């Protein structure tokens, strides 16, 4: 017996999470074998390729918004977690304090420096290798610091009185030189072949205006900083994203026409841009045009009607479900396999590149799992 092929409308309905006034329905995925009698729901690579879609809505250097369509929530969440915790980035790891006469303690200052995001040539960053610290418990003596695994920076600033300042000045920025220490005071010390590898862009803080400390005359900071590769799972300073979130695509279905004053009220129930007001046309009031005709439009030509313009802007507040005049006229939902991602880069990598890097990390994890399974299979034999 040939497997049953459901209609596309039926398949689309299965993917919608129902949003009711006080409950949420159809939250469980049912696209697995055994959920629907007579249907072939076995997984295949060809079917996965056919359903998978990626659509970019915003693609800027520091922020990207895109839709990932046709995957399970587990896959979408894997990308989110990898973006936050497993894409390698460069950050200050070691701070060697030669002189610190500021009011900030050495360890606090080191922590602040580690959280300053760095940037540089993408090609150079990708050529950096991992640096591993000595581990006596495991008998590992550690690695030698080289130009391939260590980026050296320095912070050497001293606060002095400004001889050209007005004697009545009260603003420290005017009275003193280097009264405020910013990230722009951090300087990169090129090592070995790093000048060639980072020819496309030197290592420097993403923003030059991050405040590090405030000094007064006679106080100074003299530090050597070593930056290494790391992962956000080890420390937040290595996370390449400020935020990496996703949400399901909202779905708004107007089941009965909403006209006139009700349409204007309905529009206010949603964020700007979600609902638009249009005029009822003569075609919609003419029974001869069966495709567009609706009895509710008779005698309402020229009146305003509510139409769904951009459901992606909706926050699914359910406000419209509180009003009796919209009862049985609208259905709210969310599409189960349509994930709207928002990725905000800290600046070391472009936001769209970060998603591609997360794909590479997931591919590496999958290949490592397959190798482990093959080894286990060989042992079993």
Which residues contact residue 160 at a Cβ distance below 8 angstroms, ignoring those fewer than 6 apart?
176, 177, 178, 217
Judge if 143 and 233 occupy the same domain. yes
- In DSSP notation, 134-163 reads -BGGGTB------TTT-EEEEEEEE-EE-T
Last residue of a domain, one of 328, 346, 363: 328
Q: Is residue 199 part of a domain?
A: yes
Nearest to 335 by CA among 352, 311, 319, 317: 311
Q: Is residue 315 part of a domain?
A: yes
Judge if 233 and 98 occupy the same domain. yes
CA distance 20 to 99: 63
Judge if 205 and 263 occupy the same domain. no
CA distance 114 to 103: 18
Judge if 180 and 100 occupy the same domain. yes
- Residue 290: CATH number of its domain: 3.30.1360.10
Last residue of a domain, one of 328, 349, 365: 328
Judge if 144 and 270 occupy the same domain. no
Neighbours of 368 (CB within 10 A): 10
Judge if 224 and 101 occupy the same domain. yes
How many domains does the structure of the chain reveal? 2
Residues 201-230 as b/e (b if ≥16 CB within 10 A, e otherwise) read: eebbbbeeebebbbbeeebbbebebbbbbb
Handedness of CA 173, 219, 112, 191 (dihedral sign): positive
Judge if 145 and 235 occupy the same domain. yes
Q: Is residue 160 part of a domain?
A: yes
Judge if 192 and 229 occupy the same domain. yes
CA distance 373 to 375: 5
- State phi, psi for 277 to the nearest 5 degrees: -100, 130
Which residues contact residue 361 at a Cβ distance below 8 angstroms, ignoring those fewer than 6 apart?
82, 86, 87
Judge if 176 and 304 occupy the same domain. no
Judge if 289 and 228 occupy the same domain. no
Q: Write out the chain's pLDDT in tens, 381 residues.
A: 567 777 878 878 888 999 999 999 988 877 777 777 778 878 888 988 998 999 999 999 999 999 999 999 999 999 999 999 999 999 999 999 999 999 999 999 999 999 999 999 999 999 999 998 877 777 777 788 999 999 999 999 999 999 998 888 899 999 999 999 999 999 999 999 999 999 999 999 999 999 999 999 999 999 999 999 999 999 999 999 999 999 999 999 999 999 999 999 999 999 999 999 999 988 888 888 878 788 888 888 889 999 999 999 999 989 999 999 999 999 999 999 999 999 999 999 999 899 999 999 999 999 999 999 999 888 877
Nearest to 69 by CA among 48, 85, 90: 48
**Residue 21 DSSP one-character state:** S
- In DSSP notation, 73-84 reads HHHHHHHHHHHH
Q: Is residue 74 part of a domain?
A: no
Nearest to 165 by CA among 213, 101, 217: 217
- Residue 128: CATH number of its domain: 2.170.120.12
Last residue of a domain, one of 212, 239, 266: 239
The residue whose two tokens read 């990626």 is 54
Judge if 207 and 143 occupy the same domain. yes
Q: What is the pLDDT of residue 289?
A: 80
Give residue-wise pLDDT tens across range 302-355: 899 999 999 999 999 899 999 999 999 999 999 999 999 999 999 999 998 999
Judge if 140 and 213 occupy the same domain. yes
Q: Residues 198, 121: contact at Cβ < 8 Å?
A: yes
Q: Is residue 210 part of a domain?
A: yes
Q: What is the pLDDT of residue 1?
A: 56
> Within 13 Å of residue 232, how many CA atoms lie on the same side as its CB?
18
Q: What is the pLDDT of residue 79?
A: 95
Q: What is the pLDDT of residue 195?
A: 92
Q: Is residue 76 part of a domain?
A: no
Instruction: Name the residue range of residue 229's domain.
Output: 89-239
């Amino acid at each position: 017996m040939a497997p049953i092929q459901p209609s596309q409308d039926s398949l689309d309905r299965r993917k919608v999470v129902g949003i009711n006034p006080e409950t949420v329905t159809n939250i469980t995925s049912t696209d697995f074998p055994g959920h629907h009698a007579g249907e072939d729901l076995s997984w295949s690579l060809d079917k996965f390729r056919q359903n998978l879609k990626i659509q970019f809505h915003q693609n800027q250097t520091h922020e990207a918004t895109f839709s990932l369509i046709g995957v399970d929530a587990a896959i979408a969440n894997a990308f989110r977690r990898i973006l936050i915790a497993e894409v390698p980035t460069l950050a200050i790891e070691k701070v060697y304090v030669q002189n610190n006469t500021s009011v900030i303690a050495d360890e606090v200052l080191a922590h602040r420096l580690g959280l300053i995001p760095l940037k540089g040539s993408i090609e150079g960053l990708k050529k950096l290798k991992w640096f591993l610290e000595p581990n006596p418990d495991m008998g590992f003596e550690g690695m030698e610091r080289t130009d391939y695994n260590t980026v050296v920076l320095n912070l050497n600033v001293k606060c002095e009185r400004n001889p050209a300042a007005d004697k009545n000045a009260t603003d420290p920025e005017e009275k003193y030189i280097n009264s405020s220490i910013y990230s722009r005071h951090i300087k990169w010390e090129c090592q070995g072949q790093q000048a060639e590898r980072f020819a496309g862009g030197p290592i420097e803080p993403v923003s030059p205006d991050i405040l590090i400390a405030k000094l007064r005359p006679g106080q100074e900071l003299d530090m050597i900083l070593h930056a290494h590769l790391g992962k956000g799972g080890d420390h937040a300073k290595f996370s390449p994203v400020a935020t990496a979130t996703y949400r399901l695509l909202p779905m708004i279905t107007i089941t009965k026409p909403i006209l006139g004053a009700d349409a204007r009220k309905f529009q206010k129930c949603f964020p700007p841009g979600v609902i638009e007001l249009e005029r009822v046309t003569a075609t919609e009031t003419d029974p001869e045009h069966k495709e567009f005709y609706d009895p509710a439009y008779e005698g309402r030509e020229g009146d305003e009607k509510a139409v769904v313009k951009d459901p992606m802007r909706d926050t699914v507040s359910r406000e419209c479900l509180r009003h009796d005049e919209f009862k049985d006229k609208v259905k709210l939902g969310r599409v189960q396999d349509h994930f709207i991602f928002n990725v905000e880069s800290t600046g070391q990598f472009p936001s769209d590149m970060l998603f591609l890097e997360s794909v590479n990390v997931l591919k590496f994890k999958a290949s490592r799992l397959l190798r482990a399974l093959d080894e286990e299979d060989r042992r079993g034999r």
